[in-house]
Amino acid sequence: MITDKTGETNVKKTKFSVKLALGIIAISAAELTAAFLVVHTVVRSTIYDNAVNIVRRDMLIRAREIDACFLKHSQLVEHIDTALG
């Protein structure tokens, strides 16, 4: 076996490097998973709330247009009734 100045073999250094790399990868994967879950939950609920608010606003605008149309025609019917009555 090949040893360096401190007397450690290359195999020991390699095993330590592999364990260190795997540990860093595992911690990074766990952190990325946690960040994804938090962001996905927050962003998903925000997008859902915005979509619902947009639909509500559009329905309110259309309801006001319909209400104005009915009011206009109601007044027209009253004027015709007054003129013919």
Element (H, E) at 11: helix 10-84
What own/partner pairs with CB < 8 Å and gap ≥ 24 does 47-53 have?
none
pLDDT number for residue 23: 95
pLDDT of 13 reads 74
pLDDT at 4: 55
d(CA 77, CA 80): 5
Q: Could you tell me if 1 and 9 are in contact, meaning their C-beta atoms sit under 8 angstroms apart?
A: yes
pLDDT for 68 = 95
In tens digits, the chain (85 residues) has pLDDT values of: 455 566 556 677 778 888 999 999 999 999 999 999 999 988 888 999 999 999 999 999 999 999 999 999 999 999 998 998 7
